[in-house]
């Protein structure tokens, strides 16, 4: 039996299995609570932008026409508390944090800047910031800029590009001169998932703080910030939290750290007496001190419907289905796609990865464009990775199977749309 023939047989067997898995999926009822997908397209790119909940357009219409259109400035009172309200809802539903520890504001990079500076202030006298070389480029830009601005040494540790950061490597890099360790819980490239509690143990043993980027974890991984003793964190809301493009990011600071964590971007929204116009600046004693300016009410309102869905489903169930979907995907890919030159580029164990699966291909950018032409939308992570991330609440096992079928057709050059030219040009 040739490899392609074996792949076809595996897909036939998988079809029966997908039907069984979908039939007993406890999260199946949530599939109908998202906006319909046009023209039979398949979206396995939740790590880039989450699907649109069906309730979001109606809610935004009420905010725009009712609160803004009908009430004008009189309708803005509820907007003032949106950063804290969304923060508290997120803390409870998806972060495992306490009330008063999270706000939604600004973008991830701005929040990372605020908290990196705050961590240095909270650990005065320490001269070193640790980051790893697999962290997202924007995180490394921000951290390097803060280190230079505050005359701190930047210590960069090497991370394996597929299996993630080795804990012994981290342990060797963290000493009593380190103020803060800045890491992503889930690698944006490989999907490798770190052990949060273990990282905390290494850093805290030396008196250092840990600042997490949870952008590829929040809404997909069952996080327990309070239980693991997390210090600080930021996270995007437009990926697995499905809050939509432009929705402000999350900022978390453990409650006992808040009085010592001075944020560098002062504004009226972080003032103790927000509306008093008092000078000089007097920061609010709570997490609200990390706010700066007027919140974007429309974008923040868009976060509510997705939080409703995630709270109702429960993060334990969401994480369980995510592991099952990515496990099913990797199993199918091993038989149907790898014979055509696609190579795994992340952890094989579902327990050690987040909600996306990465593969290497020498022409990944062109391949992702060809897949889009076949109606399958995935991510390209330069230079050579294809990233697939099925959303647990919006993806069936049958969708994963169909995605692998279309992927295989493009790789083999036999896709009906002629995307690959029918020449098998993607094989390596």
pLDDT in tens, 267-318: 999 998 887 778 899 999 999 999 999 999 999 999 999 999 999 999 999 9
Segment among 35-44, 102-111, 135-144, 370-379 with least mean pLDDT: 35-44
- Residues 87 and 250: beta-carbon distance below 8 Å: yes
Query: For residue 186, what are the contacts with CB-CB under 8 A and spacing of at least 6?
Result: 192, 193, 194, 214, 216, 217, 220, 221, 353, 354, 355, 356
pLDDT in tens, 380-412: 999 999 999 999 999 999 999 999 999 999 999
pLDDT in tens, 177-230: 999 999 999 999 999 999 999 999 999 999 999 999 999 999 999 999 999 999
**Nearest-angstrom CA–CA distance, 281 and 300:** 26
Name all domains of the chain by residue range, CATH numbers in brackets: 3-54+314-412 (3.90.1150.10), 76-311 (3.40.640.10)
**Nearest-angstrom CA–CA distance, 231 and 409:** 47
Which residue from 85, 37, 55 is spatially nearest to 306, judged by alpha carbons? 55
Sign of CA dihedral 18, 20, 25, 29: positive
- At 128 the three-state DSSP class reads strand
With a pLDDT cut of 70, the percent of the chain lying above it is 93
- Residue 419: pLDDT over 50: no
Other CB atoms within 10 A of residue 177 CB: 16
Given this model, what pLDDT does residue 277 score? 77
Given this model, what pLDDT does residue 276 score? 78
Mean pLDDT (the chain) is 92
pLDDT in tens, 200-210: 999 999 999 99
Given this model, what pLDDT does residue 188 score? 96
Q: Is it true that the peptide bond before 383 is cis, omega within 30 degrees of 0?
A: yes
pTM for the structure as a whole:
0.93
- Residue 323: pLDDT over 90: yes
**Nearest-angstrom CA–CA distance, 386 and 366:** 10
- Residue 416: pLDDT over 50: no
Query: For residue 188, what are the contacts with CB-CB under 8 A and spacing of at least 6?
Result: 47, 136, 215, 216, 381
- Residue 244: pLDDT over 50: yes
Given this model, what pLDDT does residue 7 score? 58
The mean pLDDT value for 338-352 works out to 93
- Residues 420 and 391: beta-carbon distance below 8 Å: no
The mean pLDDT value for 112-130 works out to 97
**Nearest-angstrom CA–CA distance, 150 and 141:** 14
Q: How far is CA 35 from the centre of its chain?
A: 21
Given this model, what pLDDT does residue 77 score? 62
State both tokens at 53: 């909940």
With a pLDDT cut of 90, the percent of the chain lying above it is 82
Instruction: List beta partners, residue 381.
Output: 385
Under the banding of pLDDT at 50, 70 and 90, the label for residue 161 is very high
């Amino acid at each position: 039996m040739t490899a392609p023939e074996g792949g076809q047989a595996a897909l036939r067997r998988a079809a029966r299995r997908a039907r069984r898995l979908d039939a007993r999926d406890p999260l199946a009822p949530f599939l109908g609570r998202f906006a319909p997908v046009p023209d039979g397209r398949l979206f396995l790119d939740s790590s880039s932008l989450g699907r649109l909940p069906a309730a979001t357009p109606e809610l935004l219409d009420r905010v725009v026409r009712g609160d803004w259109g009908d009430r004008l400035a009189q309708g803005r009172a509820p907007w003032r508390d949106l950063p804290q309200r969304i923060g508290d809802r997120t803390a409870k539903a998806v972060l495992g944090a306490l009330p008063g520890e999270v706000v939604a504001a600004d973008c991830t990079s701005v929040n990372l800047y605020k908290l990196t500076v705050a961590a240095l202030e909270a650990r005065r006298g320490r001269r070193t910031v640790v980051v790893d070389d697999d962290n997202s480029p924007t995180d490394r830009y921000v951290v390097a800029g803060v280190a230079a601005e505050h005359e701190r040494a930047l210590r960069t540790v090497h991370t394996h590009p597929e299996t993630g950061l080795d804990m012994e490597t981290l342990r060797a890099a963290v000493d009593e001169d380190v103020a803060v360790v800045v890491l992503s819980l889930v690698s944006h490239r490989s999907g490798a998932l770190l052990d949060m509690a273990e990282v905390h143990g290494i850093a805290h043993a030396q008196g250092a703080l840990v600042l997490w980027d949870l952008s590829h974890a929040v809404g997909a991984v069952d996080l327990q910030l309070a239980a693991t003793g997390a210090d600080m964190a930021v996270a995007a809301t437009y990926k697995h939290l499905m809050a939509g493009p432009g929705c402000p990011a999350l900022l978390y600071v453990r409650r006992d750290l808040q009085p010592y964590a001075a944020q560098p971007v002062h504004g009226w929204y972080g003032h103790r007496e927000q509306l008093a116009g008092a000078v000089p600046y007097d920061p609010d004693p709570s997490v609200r001190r990390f706010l700066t300016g007027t919140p974007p009410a429309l974008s923040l309102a868009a976060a509510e419907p997705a939080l409703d869905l995630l709270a109702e489903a429960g993060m334990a169930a969401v994480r369980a289905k995510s592991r099952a979907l990515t496990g099913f995907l990797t199993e199918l890919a091993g038989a149907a796609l790898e014979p055509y030159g696609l190579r795994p580029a992340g952890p094989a164990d579902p327990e050690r990865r987040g909600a996306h699966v990465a593969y290497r291909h020498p022409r990944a950018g062109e391949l992702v464009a060809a897949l889009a032409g076949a109606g399958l939308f995935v991510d390209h992570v330069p230079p050579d990775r294809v990233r697939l991330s099925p959303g647990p609440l919006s993806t069936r096992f049958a969708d994963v199977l169909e995605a692998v079928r279309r992927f295989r057709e493009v790789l083999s050059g036999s896709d009906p749309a002629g995307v690959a030219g029918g020449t098998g040009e993607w094989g390596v």
